[in-house]
């Protein structure tokens, strides 16, 4: 290896290391967390909203299946924290909550987890962003955050 190859390799490694730490720092500064993957022994079969503390803390157990999210509509009060547990019954689905940084994958046999605190009232549509079949475009849900 000649000197110019070593220099190019060294500069390339320095640049990749710089980019890695830049992405890491920006993701923390912007609050972009990577969803956790939980693999329990049993996976819930149907979706539901569970109240942990009325008006403050909820758990959403969401199931993606062709071509709906279950439950399709969730209503929670503003200022509440929502823990999202997500799985799929058939194929891989996406779970994108518009207007937030919630972007998850629903994978059969696993549960993905993310927490979101809703500080503003509004309607937050849920879209499947992973092509899952011929009815993919109809796969939607909504989280309504009320006063």
Query: Does the model's pTM come out above 0.75?
Result: yes
The answer to whether the beta carbons of residues 53 and 78 sit under 8 Å apart is: no
Residue with tokens 């823990």: 83
Which pLDDT belongs to residue 37?
Answer: 74
Which pLDDT belongs to residue 124?
Answer: 96
Mind listing the pLDDT tens digit for each residue in 11-28?
999 999 999 999 888 888
Over residues 41-52, mean pLDDT: 89
Q: What CA–CA distance (Å, rounded) separates 15 from 90? A: 42
| More confident call, 114 vs 32 | 114
The answer to whether the beta carbons of residues 53 and 64 sit under 8 Å apart is: no
Which pLDDT belongs to residue 38?
Answer: 77
Residue from 92, 100, 22 nearest 84 by CA: 100
What is the DSSP secondary structure assignment for residue 35, as one 8-state letter? Answer: P
Which pLDDT belongs to residue 1?
Answer: 84
Pairing relationship of beta strands 36-38 and 48-53 according to DSSP bridges: unpaired
Phi-psi region of 84 (alpha: psi -120 to 50; beta: other; left: phi over 0): beta
Mind listing the pLDDT tens digit for each residue in 62-86?
999 999 999 999 999 999 999 999 9
């Amino acid at each position: 290896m000649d000197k110019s190859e070593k220099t190019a390799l060294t500069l390339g490694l320095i640049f990749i290391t710089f980019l890695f730490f830049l992405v890491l720092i920006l993701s923390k500064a912007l609050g972009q967390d990577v969803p956790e993957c939980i693999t329990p022994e049993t996976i819930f079969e149907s979706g539901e909203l569970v109240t942990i503390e009325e008006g403050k803390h909820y758990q959403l157990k969401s199931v993606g299946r062709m071509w709906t999210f279950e439950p399709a509509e969730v209503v929670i009060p503003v200022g509440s924290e929502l823990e999202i547990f997500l799985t799929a019954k058939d194929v891989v689905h996406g779970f994108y909550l518009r207007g937030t940084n919630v972007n998850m994958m629903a994978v059969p046999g696993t549960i993905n987890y993310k927490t979101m605190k809703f500080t503003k009232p509004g309607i937050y549509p849920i879209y499947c962003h992973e092509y899952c079949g011929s009815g993919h475009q109809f796969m939607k849900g909504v989280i309504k955050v009320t006063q």
